[in-house]
Amino acid sequence: MSTADTDLDTGVEGNSRLTAVNGMILLILLAVEGFTILSVRQFITLHIYLGVLLVGPVLLKTASTCYRFIRYYGRSRPYLDKGPPHPILRILGPVVILTSLAVIGTGIGLIYTGPDHRDPLLTLHKASFIVWFVAMTIHVFGHLVEGVRTTWQELSDRRATPVQRHRRWRTLALALSLLAGVGLASALLPSASSWTNHRSDSIVGHDDR
């Protein structure tokens, strides 16, 4: 195998590991965000903060997934050899990405509109969340076993292989995505004071009376 072929194979495996580890991080963050939904009035500050923080990891996941998509349909031999996901997961992939961006985008929009002018963004936020939740549930179950296995391999592999030597760059990408999310969430949270200080009834969509 030539050096060029080795580099390409390393790129495929590195992309797979980056996507898997980032996916596990997202799963944890989304689980906490889901917990806040159970009592959004009580956890509205955490709900908003985590929702914005997700921007970094979601964009990184979108980038790594789209990169694999482009290389596969660009007929790159190592990506062709790895093969595509299951057809159902391939169809759901764009749905997960678009609805993720829709949920986060409408959520950020709501920060600025405030509770008094929440419609139609709140309706779009809820509708996109419902579609996202269904697609994401199937997506998670379809990738969970492989994701856990690949993440464990990334964390436990101590061999001096080319893909392992590039782990520091994947770690840096993950750290930067989280730092970007934390920075954005910290910057936008003060603008959400109309939600965090507002009457709790209005947060869940009831009219003020």
The tens digit of pLDDT for each residue in 53-96 reads 999 999 999 999 999 989 988 888 888 888 888 888 889 999 99
Tell me, yes or no, whether 6 lies in a domain.
no
Q: With 60 as the cut, is the pLDDT of residue 46 above it?
A: yes
* Least confident segment among 62-66, 101-105, 106-110, 163-167: 163-167
Tell me, yes or no, whether 65 lies in a domain.
yes
Distance (Å, rounded) from C-alpha 94 to C-alpha 109? 22
Tell me, yes or no, whether 67 lies in a domain.
yes
- pLDDT at 160 (0 to 100): 66
The range of the structural domain enclosing residue 50 comes to 12-198
Name the token pair of 112. Answer: 């600025």
* Closest to 104 in 3D by CA, of 184, 197, 40: 184
At 166, is the pLDDT very low, low, confident or very high (cuts 50, 70, 90)?
confident
Tell me, yes or no, whether 209 lies in a domain.
no
Which residues, 6 or more positions from 94, have their beta carbon under 8 angstroms from its beta carbon? Answer: none
Tell me, yes or no, whether 22 lies in a domain.
yes
Q: With 60 as the cut, is the pLDDT of residue 141 above it?
A: yes
Tell me, yes or no, whether 185 lies in a domain.
yes
Q: With 60 as the cut, is the pLDDT of residue 206 above it?
A: no
Tell me, yes or no, whether 176 lies in a domain.
yes
| C-alpha to C-alpha distances, 181 to 54, 63, 74, 136, 147, nearest whole angstrom | 6, 15, 31, 20, 22
> What is the rounded average pLDDT for all residues in the chain?
88
Total domain count, the chain: 1
Name the token pair of 158. Answer: 């101590």
70 exposure class (CB count in 10 Å sphere: 0-12, 13-18, 19+): exposed
- pLDDT at 164 (0 to 100): 80
Q: With 50 as the cut, is the pLDDT of residue 184 above it?
A: yes
Tell me, yes or no, whether 34 lies in a domain.
yes
Note whether 202 and 122 are within 8 A (CB): no
